Homo-oligomer: A and B are copies of this chain.
Amino acid sequence: MKDQSVNFKKESGLIPVIVQDYKAGIIYMLGYMNNEALKKTKKTGWVYFWSRSRNKLWMKGEESENKLRVREIVIDCDKDTLLIKAKLEGKNACHTGNKTCFFSRL
């Protein structure tokens, strides 16, 4: 069943999800969830995303072992963005080997 408290985008069925370290406050990444990814995330306590490039559900860290353990899920005022506070199990959240995906100053 679709979670009615979340406004998935009409066109894509997705919602952007910010992942922040539950303690240090650093932002690890932004990914996208569909209803299924959110359900899996809530059920398992691990962060799942919908990959827009590979067009499939994936668990963050399923290959890299850099998993994200959910501590809290927060939704914004207009219910179209999620913020997940998580604990990084593993060394780096970014596939480049950086701690976070946000490492380049514009």
Residues of A within 8 A of B (CB): 5-6, 16, 18, 20, 24-27, 29-30, 42, 72-78, 81-83, 94-96, 98, 101-106
Residues of B within 8 A of A74 (CB): 102-106
Q: Which of A6, A83, A106 has the most CB of B within 10 A?
A: A106
Whether B75 lies near A104 (C-beta < 8 A) is yes
| B residues in contact with A104, CB < 8 Å | 74-77
Q: Report the bound CA distance from A96 to B76 in whole Å.
A: 11
| Contact between A76 and B101, CB atoms less than 8 A apart | yes
With both chains docked as a complex, state the minimum distance between the C-beta of A17 and any C-beta of chain B, in angstroms. 10
Query: What is the bound-complex CA distance between A101 and B82, given in angstroms?
Result: 10
Closest 7 CB pairs of A and B: A25-B25, A73-B106, A76-B101, A30-B81, A74-B102, A77-B101, A83-B102
